[in-house]
Amino acid sequence: MAINLEAYFKRIDYHGPRTCTSQSLIEIHRQQCFHIPFDMLDPHLKIPPSLVPTFILDKLLNKKRGGGCNQINELLALALTELGFKVTRLMARVLYDNPKDKAPILAHKALLVEFDDQKWLCDTGFGSNGLIDPIPFELNKKFDQFGSSFMLVEDKAYGYKLQILVKNQWEDMYAFHLIPFLAEDFNAIHYYNCRNPERVYVRHAIVTMPFPHGRKVLSDRIYKERTSNGTKTIEIADVRQYHELLKKEFNIELPDHPLFFPR
């Protein structure tokens, strides 16, 4: 499906070149991260899970909402494809904070983007601690960005892993094979993420978005703003404060749900 690039670039405040280059890819990816939040409020607003392109475009562009990995990475895939990049949709197994004795399922969406014999991993939808800039698909090389460090490594069981440096130790984020999937293939995992009562997104209303010096995280009635100087925490007292914070920090408004206040 074609995407209105004018509306998309306005949404992410992008004014750069529209060429298939690393500069364009990095800037578009970064701007989307800084302007479209990871927003998993739909399960709590009783909005049915949908990956229909018209639904995604209306929600993320017109209504200025965010979405989970399947929605916001699909938005990026549509935009990059329209620009002329080759985009491959990948399914990944989330390893971060996953018990070592529990086999991770395919529940995350990432993108492999190719141009001029280059390959880049793109992912604007991991939520907490995710990529802000895309990274070249080069193994065992550290990529520093906005106070975080990432690395791609091979994995015998799962193909490849994206890792993040935490307290001087490399932690696994997710693993994936370079197997292409169709956009329609993600409907089941999107439904699973939005409906399974064991999923954190069903148990908690979560919104998160990075900014140049840190990350904002809203989980139910607790707002945290993490920077290198520490963490600022706000306990939200009432529905009015909740919606004011959503608007101020994430530019999210819920006109159809003015009384929504998570448990």
Mean pLDDT of 175-187: 97
Provide the pLDDT for residue 20: 97
Residue 109: pLDDT band with limits 50, 70, 90: very high
Provide the pLDDT for residue 212: 94
Mean pLDDT of 63-70: 97
Report whether pLDDT(114) > 90: yes
Residue 173: pLDDT band with limits 50, 70, 90: very high
Q: Which domains does the chain have, with CATH numbers?
A: 5-193 (3.30.2140.20)
Other beta carbons within 10 angstroms of residue 235's beta carbon come to: 8
Provide the pLDDT for residue 104: 86
pLDDT digits (tens, 9 = 90+) for 222-250: 999 999 899 999 999 999 999 999 999 99
Q: 175 CB contacts (<8 Å, ≥6 apart)? A: 92, 93, 95, 104, 155, 157, 158, 159, 160, 161, 162
Report whether pLDDT(195) > 80: yes
pLDDT digits (tens, 9 = 90+) for 134-144: 999 999 999 99
Report whether pLDDT(259) > 90: yes
CA distance 34 to 182: 27
Provide the pLDDT for residue 139: 98
CA distance 259 to 2: 35
Tally of residues, the chain:
263
Residue 41: pLDDT band with limits 50, 70, 90: very high
Provide the pLDDT for residue 97: 76
CA distance 162 to 179: 16
Residue 263: pLDDT band with limits 50, 70, 90: confident
Report whether pLDDT(25) > 80: yes
Residue 131: pLDDT band with limits 50, 70, 90: very high
CA distance 14 to 27: 8
Whether the CB-CB separation of 262 and 43 falls below 8 Å is answered with: no
Provide the pLDDT for residue 127: 84
Where residue 226 falls (left for φ over 0; alpha for ψ -120 to 50; beta otherwise) is: beta
Provide the pLDDT for residue 2: 84
Mean pLDDT of 75-102: 92
Whether the pTM exceeds 0.75: the reply is: yes
Q: Please, what is the average pLDDT of the chain?
A: 96
Q: Report percent pLDDT > 90 for the chain.
A: 93
Provide the pLDDT for residue 250: 98
Report whether pLDDT(92) > 80: yes
